[in-house]
């Protein structure tokens, strides 16, 4: 059985993150996890904080992926798998969406991504194998998005600092036939290893991870 974290933030690419790659890898290994989907915040606020040059289409995502690169390096000696993800927020809304297994080009021209919004981004996302999952849809200031634009919903957000109303998120996912995930939404040491999924297999790469998530053959933590 393999435990995989699906929602996690780092000090590198989330302004609200407090944990570096070495700390995260060591702590998650100690808690029995064998994989991490790194889902730092990809939104205008964080891109501005990182100094993104919006005139260069690739620049924002190159800066953003520092956390992914650092976690890959820290995890490699231990055989831990690191998967590519993001938590996207579009201009004009407080909703967040977990993007899993994306090709880099999908996040190119970040200014356009943020301005275009969910519907346009979802159409582009479905040209790829990536999954788009709404995070904590009933958290304060959030609301459930049009399910036509989603692949799934985070039905167990285990961050204790928020009233996530997970029972409502589960009802939303069930009513609309959406994939279901659980995640720690980890930012600080006390939030490490509170959520995720358990699988009989450990996906070798992003492609295998997406296949696992689509299959539904996992247990929520």
Residue-level pLDDT, tens digit, the chain, 221 residues: 999 999 999 999 999 999 999 999 999 999 999 999 999 999 999 999 999 999 999 999 999 999 999 999 999 999 999 999 999 999 999 999 999 999 999 999 999 999 999 999 999 999 999 999 999 999 999 999 999 999 999 999 999 999 999 999 999 999 999 999 999 999 999 999 999 999 999 999 999 999 999 999 999 99
Alpha-carbon torsion, ordered 79, 180, 15, 115, to 10 deg = 120
Determine the angle formed by the axes of helices 66-75 and 21-30, rounding to 10 degrees.
50
Query: Which residue intervals of the chain are DSSP H helices?
Result: 21-30, 44-49, 59-64, 66-75, 110-116, 118-125, 166-176, 206-215
pLDDT tens for each residue of 131-166:
999 999 999 999 999 999 999 999 999 999 999 999
Please, are residues 221 and 31 in contact by the beta-carbon 8 Å criterion?
no
pLDDT tens for each residue of 2-21:
999 999 999 999 999 999 99
Global pTM? 0.98
CA 187, CA 21: separation in Å to the nearest integer?
A: 12
């Amino acid at each position: 059985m393999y435990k995989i974290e699906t929602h996690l933030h780092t000090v590198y690419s989330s302004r609200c993150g407090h944990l570096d790659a070495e700390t995260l890898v060591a702590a998650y290994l100690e808690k029995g996890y064998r994989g991490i989907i790194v889902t730092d915040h990809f939104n205008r606020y964080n891109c501005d904080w990182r100094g993104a040059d919006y005139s260069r289409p690739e620049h924002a995502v190159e800066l953003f992926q520092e956390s992914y690169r650092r976690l890959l390096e820290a995890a490699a000696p231990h055989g831990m798998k690191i998967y590519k993800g993001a938590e996207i927020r579009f201009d004009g809304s407080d909703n967040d969406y977990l993007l899993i297994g994306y090709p880099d080009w999908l996040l190119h021209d970040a200014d356009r991504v943020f301005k275009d919004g969910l519907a346009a981004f979802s159409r582009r996302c479905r040209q790829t194998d990536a999954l788009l999952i709404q995070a904590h849809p009933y958290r304060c200031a959030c609301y459930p998005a049009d399910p036509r634009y989603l692949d799934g919903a985070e039905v167990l957000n285990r961050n204790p600092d928020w009233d996530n109303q997970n029972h409502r998120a589960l009802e939303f996912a069930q009513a609309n036939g959406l994939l279901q995930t659980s995640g720690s939404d980890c930012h600080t040491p006390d939030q490490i290893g509170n959520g995720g999924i358990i699988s009989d297999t450990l996906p070798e790469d992003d492609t295998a991870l997406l296949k696992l998530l689509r299959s539904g053959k996992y247990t929520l933590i």
